[in-house]
């Protein structure tokens, strides 16, 4: 991805092993979901599960490749070969539910990354989602668990309709979900103040052994869908806040939304420069 390369990230190789990817997917999703998607691609183009999930004959392969890139990012981050890794993947993932796809998402890359980090003994894990849309799939997967803290800032009310401030987890996971809903038109100051507040609250609850970031850039002022006013400078500040908050813990960022391609390139570059500027570490990018 051009924005990542301009930020100085080094590319990492990705091996696409379908069996390995399916095993990782099954930790987050009903195994039947992948089977259904693969079969549906045989008679694409069509929609899959919902009107906002059109598919082509290559959609299953692309979704598996995104998971493969996410797993490669986890491998390098967990082994400290690269302290911070950005997975430049599409399709995105944070709306994908256990047994159903929605919102352009098929497999939940962020949730898969968190589960893989836990499998490697890196517990607890913090997930921070700054996409303009609430990551309902990610929240749902960890809603009743205390080993993952889910922090989201997003436009509200907005698609997919979830993400109110009263959604804080349940059972043993109560207090491990924090939503910071923002009104339409929120700018750099509002986004960054909300993120700083959320990270401070997160640190009161846990000291993460690893971080996952759902990095969506559709809050950019040029994005055709988001209705927000975050600029390149704002995304650089978001990267700086997360870089400082995560310290030397492994961090895996996965690409979510962002639908103005020029703004997306600039935003990714700004975010990664902010992230690496907070604490110089090895920094790499993988892409599907």
Do residues 199 and 245 make contact, with C-beta atoms less than 8 angstroms apart?
yes
Q: Which H or E run contains 119?
A: helix 109-119
Of all residues in the chain, the percent with pLDDT exceeding 70 is 92
Q: Is the pLDDT of residue 55 over 70?
A: yes
The whole-angstrom separation of Cα 81 and Cα 94 is 26
Of all residues in the chain, the percent with pLDDT exceeding 90 is 89
Q: How many other C-beta atoms are found inside a 10 Å radius of the C-beta of residue 204?
A: 6
Across 90-111, average pLDDT: 98
Q: What is the pTM of this model?
A: 0.95
Residue 215: per-residue pLDDT? 98
- Angstrom CA distances, 272 to 4, 145, 278, stand at 7, 30, 10
Count of domains forming the chain = 1
Identified catalytic residue from 76, 95, 133, 220: 95
Q: Give, to the nearest 10 degrees, the angle between helix 59-78 and helix 18-26.
A: 80
For 104-155, the pLDDT digits (tens) are 999 999 999 999 999 999 999 999 999 999 999 999 999 999 999 999 999 9
The whole-angstrom separation of Cα 188 and Cα 174 is 30
Q: Is the pLDDT of residue 3 over 80?
A: no
Residue 279: per-residue pLDDT? 45
Question: Would you place residue 7 in the very low, low, confident or very high pLDDT band (cuts 50, 70, 90)?
Answer: low
Residue 276: per-residue pLDDT? 87
95 is catalytic: yes
Question: Would you place residue 13 in the very low, low, confident or very high pLDDT band (cuts 50, 70, 90)?
Answer: confident
Residue 10: per-residue pLDDT? 77
Task: Quote the domain boundaries for residue 277.
Answer: 2-287
For 170-189, the pLDDT digits (tens) are 999 999 999 999 999 999 99
Across 79-105, average pLDDT: 93
The CATH number for 34's domain is 3.40.800.20
Average pLDDT along the chain:
93
Question: Would you place residue 281 in the very low, low, confident or very high pLDDT band (cuts 50, 70, 90)?
Answer: very low
């Amino acid at each position: 991805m051009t924005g990542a390369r301009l930020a100085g990230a080094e590319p990492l190789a990705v091996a696409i092993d379908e069996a390995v990817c399916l095993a990782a997917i099954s930790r987050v999703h009903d195994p039947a979901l992948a089977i259904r998607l693969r079969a549906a691609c045989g008679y694409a183009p069509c929609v899959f599960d919902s009107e906002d999930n059109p598919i082509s004959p290559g959609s299953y392969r692309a979704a598996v490749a995104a998971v493969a890139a996410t797993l490669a990012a986890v491998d390098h981050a967990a082994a400290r070969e690269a302290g911070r890794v950005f997975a430049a993947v599409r399709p995105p993932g944070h709306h994908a539910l256990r047994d159903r796809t929605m919102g352009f998402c098929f497999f939940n890359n962020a949730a898969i990354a968190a589960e893989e980090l836990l499998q490697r003994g890196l517990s607890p894990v913090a997930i921070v989602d700054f996409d303009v849309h609430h990551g309902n799939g990610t929240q749902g997967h960890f809603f009743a668990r205390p080993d993952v803290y889910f922090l989201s800032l997003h436009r509200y009310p907005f698609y997919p309709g979830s993400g109110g401030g009263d959604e804080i987890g349940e059972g043993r996971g109560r207090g491990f979900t924090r939503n910071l809903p923002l009104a339409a038109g929120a700018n750099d100051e509002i986004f960054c103040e909300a993120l700083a507040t959320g990270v401070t609250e997160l640190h009161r609850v846990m000291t993460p052994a690893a971080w996952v970031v759902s990095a969506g850039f559709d809050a950019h002022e040029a994005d055709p869908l988001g209705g927000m006013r975050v600029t390149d400078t704002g995304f650089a500040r978001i990267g700086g806040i997360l870089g400082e908050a995560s310290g030397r813990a492994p961090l895996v960022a996965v690409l979510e939304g962002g639908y103005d391609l020029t703004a997306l390139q600039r935003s990714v570059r700004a975010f990664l420069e902010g992230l690496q500027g907070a604490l110089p570490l090895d920094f790499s990018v993988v892409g599907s």
